[in-house]
Amino acid sequence: MSGVFYDAAAGSGKTTYLARLAVEHRNGHVLLTTFTDANSDELNRVLLNEVGSIPDTIDVMPWYTFLLNECIRPFQGAFGALANEPIAGIDLVSTASALRTRKTELRHYACRHNGDNKIKIFSDKLAELALYINEITNGDVIDRLSRLYTMICIDEIQDMSGYDLDLIANMLCEISDMRFAGDQRQATFHTANVAKNKSYRKSGFGKYIKDKRLNCTVDVDTLRFCHRCPQIIVDLADALYPELPSTISTRDKSEATSQQPIKLVRVSDVVSYSNRYGAVSLVYDRRTKTPPGIQTNNMGAVKGLSFDNVLLFPTSNMRNWLFDHSTNLSEATKAKLYVAVTRARSSLAIVVPDDFQPQALDAWHIWMPGDINMEKS
């Protein structure tokens, strides 16, 4: 029983890589799972591109769905309080649920849904409940998974936290082949906001493997190259994490592009720029102010996606860092900025106030409507 963790760079094609591994092993029974619905949709899209349809021997599902349907429901009768209670679904929580309760109590894991009185499992307790049921059944949960799947692949492994990590560690002991792919710099989401294994939200899955002495190889070579962004954009993103190995872009420097890779755009020119280049606008959250008519996406929610031209609305702290890398950013802010910057295939435009005055910025210039000097021939 062993695993491989592919420590990936942004734009390295890790989702495609895992999907292709699943196709190669489709004569067995493969699970492809990841935290978010959006990433599950991307896995399905890649599979459709690779083989034209989803093979019957490959299951694609979000992580929470996997925990509920494959780890909890088949054994809920073993937990007396759940034996005769149909589980209606999952109660999504953003903070730690059911504090000061015991793991032997139903209320530690679930609540009754208002209106119909049906049971819903707290999202941050799904993995903990799966582990508890595995404990009281003497390992039946993990044993079932080992018989059900010949390979399990988990994409965006950096999103896993709390008891989810411990469940994965248990799975590694029994399941014949497990593969993981992730980039710790893109840890914009977490499966559970709990104290358990909290330190690994920053240090990452590779550190968890080492500390727990898991039978899992860390592969830092297979997915180390970025196939999406020009090197100048990759270098900017890497500067957020100088302690980590630098990323190499496979994009040829002579590759034709009509724009400078990085530029500045004043707020009053945002609409003109967006209309001209069809740029995708990225914001920290919905509180970010943007000009009327600009459709926006949350920086953290576009993980795994690529866009030709990105229009970045940085927070004030982000903007300070962009022009002075000594500025301190929180881990969450760094991760969101890293994701936003590395979505760009051709160009990254950074929105600045109208009164912004660049100083000693040799590489970045302010875009102006009709300025042919910003175009490459």
Q: Please give the mean pLDDT across all residues of the chain.
A: 92
Spatial contact of 193 and 95, defined as CB atoms under 8 Å apart: yes
User: How many CA within 13 A on the CB side of residue 254?
Assistant: 0
pLDDT at res. 224: 92
Pairing of strands 262-266, 177-182: unpaired
Helix H or strand E segment including 53: none
Task: List all residues 6 or more positions away from 153 whose beta carbon is below 8 Å from its beta carbon.
Answer: 18, 21, 22, 30, 31, 32, 33, 178, 179, 180, 181
The stretches of the chain forming alpha helices (DSSP H) are: 14-24, 37-51, 63-66, 126-136, 140-148, 163-174, 200-203, 205-212, 231-238, 270-277, 316-323, 331-341
What is the reported pTM?
0.90
CA distances from 301 to 70, 231, 334 (A): 26, 23, 14
Task: Compute mean pLDDT per 10 residues along the chain, 377 residues long, and list them.
Answer: 92 95 95 94 94 94 98 94 89 94 94 83 98 97 97 97 98 96 94 95 94 96 95 96 92 64 94 94 92 91 91 95 92 95 96 81 77 52
Q: Which two tokens stand for residue 76?
A: 């809920």
pLDDT at res. 84: 83
pLDDT at res. 195: 95
Which pLDDT tens digit goes with each residue over 228-255? 999 999 999 999 999 988 999 998 765 5
pLDDT at res. 377: 35
Which amino acid type is present at position 106? L
- Alpha-carbon distance of 131 to 60, in angstroms, equals 22
Residue from 50, 302, 274, 324 nearest 186 by CA? 302
Task: List all residues 6 or more positions away from 194 whose beta carbon is below 8 Å from its beta carbon.
Answer: 96, 124, 161, 162, 163
CB atoms within 10 A of CB 99: 8
Q: Which two tokens stand for residue 11?
A: 């734009």
